[in-house]
Chains A and B, each alone.
Chain A
Amino acid sequence: MPSITKDLETRRRLSRLKTEALLLSRRFGDARFDTESGTWFYVERFPIAAGWNKSHIEVLIDIPYGTPGYPSVPPEWFWTDHDLRTTEGQSLNHFFTRGPSTDKEHLNHGWGHFCVHLIGWRPAGGADLLRGHSLLTYLDLIATIFRDRRTLSGAR
């Protein structure tokens, strides 16, 4: 079986993820990615707004790795601590702690996932990651989702 890292699309994706990890590490601290095949991106301590039972969460982003893959295709799923609740102990809307059998590894690790469909994804070019969409803008979206406590918790 040929090594997946020999595939041009994969090499391009790995290069992109490496650059984004450097950029995001400056803002969020430890940011890692799947250096073998570029299928995930991980932020260990992602800060979230008040109103939850944690101030920081782990975030694991599923990176699309088909052809085309990321960044032409936006991420759709991200994973985070399955025991995340509101400060009152309520569970979250749009958050799934069970999934298909292919996700067992993540679920066993203690993560649940959100499914967020992006509309109008305009990927940033490699020469200027700050102009257009990237994992930075995706993480900004995740931060915004956690600020919208009313939608996630059903609180009024």
Chain B
Amino acid sequence: MGNYIVNGEVIDVRGEQPTAADLKRQANSVLSDWVMASMPNGQIVKLEDHRPLPANAVDYSVVTPFTYG
């Protein structure tokens, strides 16, 4: 349980080990969206829905799935 920064907003997510899917539900996002975690080393990691949110992530982005053209 805790506060997470998602797309610049603070979101309160309850539960012992909240997952990417929990984050999307709490943010009222489309459930097929991607959750991307910003890691302290600057890496952006796409999280699978069932994966717990990494404890050391700086913040999160929930985005429409995409590819570059």
Contacts and interface: CB of A to CB of B under 8 A. Distances in A.
Given A140-B7, A150-B43, A120 B64 contact: yes
Contacts of B28: 130-131
Interface residues of B, number: 20
A31 B44 CA distance: 28
Contacts of B30: 120, 122, 132-133
Q: Could you say which of B30, B42, B66 has the most chain A C-beta atoms within 10 Å of its C-beta? A: B66
Contacts of B36: 144, 148
A93 B62 CA distance: 22
A148 to B, nearest CB: 4
A149 interface: yes
Interface in B23-42: 28, 30, 32-33, 36, 38, 42
Interface string A107-151: 000000011111111100000001111000110110110011111
23 contacts: A74-B64, A76-B69, A115-B69, A116-B66, A119-B65, A119-B66, A120-B33, A121-B64, A122-B32, A131-B28, A137-B63, A140-B7, A140-B61, A141-B63, A141-B66, A143-B8, A144-B36, A144-B63, A147-B38, A147-B44, A147-B61, A150-B42, A150-B43
Given A122-B32, A130-B28, A140-B7, 9 more contacts: A93-B68, A116-B67, A117-B69, A118-B66, A120-B32, A122-B30, A138-B64, A140-B61, A151-B44
Interface of A: 51, 74, 76-77, 93-94, 114-122, 130-133, 137-138, 140-141, 143-144, 147-151
